[in-house]
Structure 1
Amino acid sequence: AERLGMPTHEVMDMLRELGADIKNHMSSIDEDLVELLEEEIEFRRRREEELRKKREKTVVLENPPTLRELARLLGEEETEVLLRLADLNVIPHSKKPLPPLVVERLIREKGFEVEWKGNLREEVLKSLEVERLPRPPVVTILGHVDHGKTTLLDAIRRSRVAESEYGGITQKIGAYQVDVGGRKITFIDTPGHEAFTTMRARGAQVTDIAVLVVAADDGVMPQTVEAIQHARAADVPILVAINKIDKPGANPERVKQQLSEHGLIPEEWGGETICVAISALQRKGIQDLLDMILLQADLLELRARYAGPAVGVIIESRLDRGKGPVATVIVQEGTLRVGDFFVAGTTWGRVRSLFDDLGKPIKEAPPATPVEVVGFAELPPAGTKLVVVEEEKTATVVAERRKERERERALREAGNRVVSLEELLAPEEGKVKELHLVLKADYQGSLEALERAISQLGDERVKINVVFRGVGNISEADVMLASASSGVVIGFNVKLPNEVAK
C-alpha cells in the first residue's frame, strides 16, 4: 500500500477482486500478484484521465439552447455565434431554441462533444414543431410569346376585380391574388420574352402549379417546350389552358396530340394532364380554369405556418423615385407585418409600408400573399429569400456577413489569369483572353437582359466572365471588386456618384 501510495483497505479490495486470498493487512503477496495489481492500477488511472479529459471537452446541454445560452456555453460573443449561424443560413430568435443538429454542428466545430441532459433533445424538437394550416396556391402562367398569357392574366383579374378598381391600378407589382368563391389564388405575372428565360425559370421557385398557355391555332412552339422543361425541372404540376378556341383554324385536338409527344397526356386520353379550352379575349372558360386550379391545389394539400416571423421570396424589385428600393414578395411562411426587420440576401431593411396588388396599403400579409414591400437598404435581386429577424442588429450583421462571403466568392471565381480592357484591345495571336465584368443596372429585368446579351458576345479569342451583378447605382465596392479582379464596371441606366468616379 505504501509503495503504491494507496490506502491499505483499497489495496486489499483490489487484491480480492484479482482472486487473491487476503486475510488481513499483515498478509504477504507474491511479486506476480504485485505486478498484476500495478498494471490494473495504471489502467484505472489512464481511464480516469481519459474520462476527465472527455468531461473537459464535452458541452453538457441542460437548458434549451438559445443563441444566448449557446454563446455562454462556448464562451463566445453572441455576434460571433450569430455570424456562424449566418454561414449556415440559420436566423435565430432570442426566445426560441436552435435546431439540435445546428447546435451539435457548432459545438463540434469548436472541438467539443455534445451531451443532452435527459429528454432535452426530444423536447427541443417538439417545441420547434408548428401548426400548419391550408394556404392558397401560387400559380405561374407560362407559354410561347403571343399565345395569350397577358390576355389571360388580364381576363382572370378583370373577372375578379371591379372595373373601377381595375382602372385605378397604376403599378403592376408582378403578382396578384384573386378570390374564387371565397378561396384565393395567387398568380405570378412573369415576363414572356425569351431574353427573360431565367426569370421565368425562377418563377417556379415559389410556384405550386404552372398553367401552360397554348394557342389552339398555333400549337406547341419552342417556348412552349422550354416552359414544360422549366416546370418539370422545378417539379411543378402542369395544367394546360388551350387558348384562342374562338379563332378560325383552332384545333384543340392537334394541340393535345403535340402535348402528348412531350409527355403531357390529357386526362380524356387516359393521362394525368388537365386541359381546359378557353378564350382569354372573350373571357370564355375562365371559371372552368380557376376551378381546375383549385382542384389541383386540393390534391397538393398546400399548408403553411401562419404564426411567427415571415419567410418569403422576392419575385421582382425596382427603384421607385418616391419610395426608394421596393420589392414584390410572395410570403411563404409566417405573417409579414409593418415594422418587421428583415434580411434578404446581402441586403436588409425594415418594413416601412406594405401594399397589396391593387396598390392599397395593408398592415400584414399571410402566406401565399403577394405584397409590395417598402424599406430595403439596397435593391435585392429577384429570387432572393426574405427572412424576418428579431432586431436591427441581427439584420445588419447577417447581411454584412453574406456580402463579405459573396465578394470573396466573386474574387475566387475571377481566377488568377485576369486582364484589363487595355490589354484586351491588343490581343495576342492564338491566346484566349478573359474579361471580368461587374454589371449594374436600374432594374432586375434590365440586368438579366444585359447579362444575356453580353454573354453572347464572347468568341474563341475572348472569354467573358461576369464576377458580380447587381441592381442600383455603381458603388465604391463595385469599383474595388473590378479593380481586384482587373475587370471593368458596366452600368446600364444607373448613376456614377462623384465620390465613386474619383
Structure 2
Amino acid sequence: INQVLDQETAMIVVEELGHVAIAAKLDDPEAFLDESATQSEAEQLPRAPVVTVMGHVDHGKTSLLDYIRRAKVAAGEAGGITQHIGAYHVRTERGMVTFLDTPGHEAFTAMRARGAKATDIVILVVAADDGVMPQTREAIHHAKAAGVPIVVAVTKIDKPAANPERVKQELVAEQVVPEEYGGDVPFVGVSAKTGQGIDDLLENVLLQAEVLELKAPEDAPAKGLVIEARLDKGRGPVATILVQSGTLKRGDVVLAGASFGRVRAMLDENGKPIQTAGPSIPVEIQGLTEVPAAGDELMALSDERKAREIALFRQGKFRDVKLARQQAAKLESMFDNLGEGTQTLTLIVKTDVQGSQEALVQSLVKLSTDEVRVQVVHAAVGGISETDINLAIASHAVVIGFNVRADASAKKLAENNGIDVRYYNIIYDAVDEVKAAMSGMLAPEKKEEIIGLVEIREVYSISRLGNIAGCMVLDGIVRRDSQVRLLRNNVVHWTGHLESLRRFKDDVKEVKSGFDCGLTLRGNNDIQVGDQLEVFEIKEIARTL
C-alpha cells in the first residue's frame, strides 16, 4: 500500500486486470527553458568587464579592492580568505568595471566545475616583497584553465623589501610572461597605501576588455549567476547575483538552480534598494524559496507555474543524485575500511555562507593521503545544532564551525559526550590544523579558550559614548582585558575588545556568571537586544584532535 510503482510494473498490472495500457511520455520541464532561450533576439550592447581578483593570502587583494572603492573595510577582515564573496562595480573615466573578490580559489573552481563562467579578466595579485607563493601558482592554473586573460598587479611596492624584478622572473617560470619580455601579460606595480599605479591597473583592465569586445542584450529577460547565497534569519534566503545578460527587475519571477521565487527586494552592493539591474551589475535579491548553490544559473521567467514545476523537477533530480552519492559513500567506506591500516578522520562542517562551505570542504577533502582519509559526513550552512552533535556521536566525527557557533543545548551535548567542536574564522587555519592532526604533529600552540557568555538585554544610546549594552553574564566570567565575539543568531558578526566594563557606576575588572553589567565595545556600535558576546582568551596549550 502507498508504494510508488515504476511505469513498467504499472503497465503489467493494468494488462493483468484486462485493460489496455498506454505508456505516457514524461515531459521534461527543462525543455521549456530551451524554447524560451531561442526566442530572445535582443540587440547586443557593450557591457562592463567582470574582474576576479586572485592571489596568495595576505598579498593585499582586499586592500587593493578597497583602495579602488575608496572604502575602509579591509582593516577588520581576518587574514586568510575573504569570507563572503564581495561583488561591486566602480565607475572610472573610461567606463565601468565589476569586481569579484573570491573566497580563495576553491570556490572559483567549484563554480567552474558547474560550467559557470563568472569572470572575463583575472587580476593576479603578487606581493613585491614575497614573490610567487603556492596559491599564486594555483590562481594561475585556474585562470589558464578558464581561458581568461591575466593582468598582474605587483602590490606592496612601497615596502623597503620590494623586488618587482624578482616577481617577474618567478612568474616567467610559471609561463606568465610580461609584455616587456615579449609576452602578452601586463605587469603593473601598485600600492594600496599610496594609490600608486591604481589608475594604470584600471587602464590595463579596460584595454583587455576592449580586446574581448564584451557584449550582452539589455532589453531581454535576465540571466545571471549566483555568486553567493545564505539563509538570513530575518529575510529568508538571500542570494548575491551577477546579472550577465538582460535586465533583472524587482517583481520578476526567477529560477535559480532548484529554487524559484519572485524578487521581493533588490539591493545594490551598498545595501541600497534598487528597481532594476542590467548586465555586469551585482545585486542581492530576496524572495527565493530555497538557498541556491553558488554557481547556479539564474534566469527570469514569465510563468511562475512553470518556474515552480522546473524547480520541483530539479529538486527531485538533486535528491536522487544525493541518495546515490550517500549509497556510494557507504559502500566506498565499507570496502576502504577493509584495507589494512587506513585511518579515517571524520568531520562535520558548518559554515556561515555557501561559498565558504564549498571552499572549506574541498580544501579539507584534498588533504586525504594513502594512510589517512578525510571524510566529511555532513556539511551545511547555519549554526551548530543538537542534530549535528548527534551525528558526530554516531560517526565519531570532529565538528568544525566556520564563523558559526553551537547553541546552548548542542554545547552541553558535545561536552557530555566528549565531542570535539572546533571554531575557526580563517579557512587556512582550519586546513592547517587538520593537516597537523593527520600528521600527528600537534605541537603546543596558541589556542583560544572560551571563558564566558554574555547576553545583551538592553541597549542605551549616549551621544558621547555611543551604544552601551546592558548585559547579563550567562556563563563563566567576563574580564575587561578579554577579547569578545559578537554573535547574532549564532553567527559571528564582529570580533574585538571591550572598551569598558562596569557594575552600576563603578569600573570593574571582571563580572561573574549570574551578575549583570554594562559594557561598550571598542570600535563597534552595531549591537542589538538578544545579541550574545562570547568571551575568550588566547592560551598556549598542547593540542589534541
TM-score when normalising by structure 1: 0.63
Among candidates 362, 369, 372, match of residue 284 of structure 2:
372
Match of 1:268 in 2: 180
For residues 153 and 202 of structure 1, the distance between their equivalents in structure 2, rounded to whole angstroms, comes to 26
Instruction: Give CA deviations for 1:65-98 in whole Å, capped at 9, x if unaligned.
Output: xxxxxxxxxx989xx64xx141x583554xxxx7
Kept in 1: contact 2:178–2:186 (CA 8 A): yes
Among candidates 95, 98, 112, match of residue 183 of structure 1:
95
Question: Which piece of structure 1 moves more, 464-473 or 318-327?
Answer: 464-473
Among candidates 108, 126, 132, match of residue 220 of structure 1:
132
For residues 393 and 200 of structure 1, the distance between their equivalents in structure 2, rounded to whole angstroms, comes to 28
Match of 1:15 in 2: none
SS state at 1:220 partner? coil
SS state at 2:33 partner? coil
Shift of 1:319: 2.3
Match of 1:447 in 2: 357
Question: Which piece of structure 1 moves more, 334-343 or 197-206?
Answer: 197-206
Match of 2:417 in 1: none
Aligned-pair identity in percent equals 46
Kept in 1: contact 2:42–2:218 (CA 8 A): no
Shift of 1:211: 0.3
Shift of 1:448: 2.5
| Shift in CA distance, 433/91, structure 1 to aligned 2, threshold 3 Å | farther
Kept in 2: contact 1:419–1:433 (CA 8 A): no
AA of the residue aligned to 1:90: L
| Shift in CA distance, 227/200, structure 1 to aligned 2, threshold 3 Å | farther
Kept in 1: contact 2:40–2:220 (CA 8 A): no
| Shift in CA distance, 386/468, structure 1 to aligned 2, threshold 3 Å | farther
Match of 1:252 in 2: 164
Instruction: Give CA deviations for 1:143-191 in whole Å, capped at 9, x if unaligned.
Output: 1111111110001000xx7x99xx9xxx986100000116110000112
Match of 2:43 in 1: 131
AA of the residue aligned to 2:178: P
Instruction: Give CA deviations for 1:7-48 in whole Å, capped at 9, x if unaligned.
Output: xxxxxxxxxxxxxxxxxxxxxxxxxxxxxxxxxxxxxxxxxx
Kept in 1: contact 2:85–2:100 (CA 8 A): no
Q: Give the alignment of 1:99-178 within 5 angstroms.
A: 99=38, 128-158=40-70, 174-178=86-90
Shift of 1:321: 3.0
Are 1:295 and 2:207 an aligned pair?
A: yes
SS state at 2:269 partner? coil
For residues 55 and 164 of structure 2, the distance between their equivalents in structure 1, rounded to whole angstroms, comes to 16
Among candidates 299, 307, 311, match of residue 399 of structure 1:
311
Among candidates 314, 317, 322, match of residue 410 of structure 1:
322
Shift of 1:247: 1.0
Match of 1:306 in 2: 218
Kept in 1: contact 2:232–2:238 (CA 8 A): yes
Question: Which piece of structure 1 moves more, 460-469 or 137-146?
Answer: 460-469
| Shift in CA distance, 434/401, structure 1 to aligned 2, threshold 3 Å | farther
Instruction: Give CA deviations for 1:38-61 in whole Å, capped at 9, x if unaligned.
Output: xxxxxxxxxxxxxxxxxxxxxxxx
Shift of 1:471: 3.7
| Shift in CA distance, 144/376, structure 1 to aligned 2, threshold 3 Å | same
Shift of 1:311: 0.7
For residues 364 and 141 of structure 2, the distance between their equivalents in structure 1, rounded to whole angstroms, comes to 25
- Aligned residue pairs total 369
RMSD: 4.2
AA of the residue aligned to 2:187: C
Match of 1:328 in 2: 240
| Shift in CA distance, 414/246, structure 1 to aligned 2, threshold 3 Å | same
SS state at 1:418 partner? helix
Shift of 1:207: 0.5
Match of 1:234 in 2: 146
| Unmatched tracts of structure 2, length 5 or more | 1-22, 77-82, 410-545
Q: Give the alignment of 1:271-290 within 5 angstroms.
A: 271-290=183-202
For residues 136 and 85 of structure 2, the distance between their equivalents in structure 1, rounded to whole angstroms, comes to 25
| Shift in CA distance, 267/433, structure 1 to aligned 2, threshold 3 Å | closer
| Shift in CA distance, 441/173, structure 1 to aligned 2, threshold 3 Å | closer
Kept in 1: contact 2:29–2:313 (CA 8 A): no
Shift of 1:380: 1.2
AA of the residue aligned to 1:404: G
More strand by percentage: 2
| Shift in CA distance, 236/420, structure 1 to aligned 2, threshold 3 Å | closer
Match of 1:90 in 2: 33
SS state at 1:378 partner? coil
Kept in 2: contact 1:411–1:467 (CA 8 A): no
AA of the residue aligned to 1:365: A
Match of 1:344 in 2: 256
| Shift in CA distance, 289/149, structure 1 to aligned 2, threshold 3 Å | same
> Which of these two proteins has the greater Rg computed from alpha carbons?
1
| Shift in CA distance, 418/251, structure 1 to aligned 2, threshold 3 Å | closer
Instruction: Give CA deviations for 1:438-476 in whole Å, capped at 9, x if unaligned.
Output: 97654214422552465368666886666885546899x
Shift of 1:231: 0.5
Kept in 1: contact 2:228–2:354 (CA 8 A): yes
Kept in 1: contact 2:103–2:359 (CA 8 A): no
| Shift in CA distance, 282/433, structure 1 to aligned 2, threshold 3 Å | closer
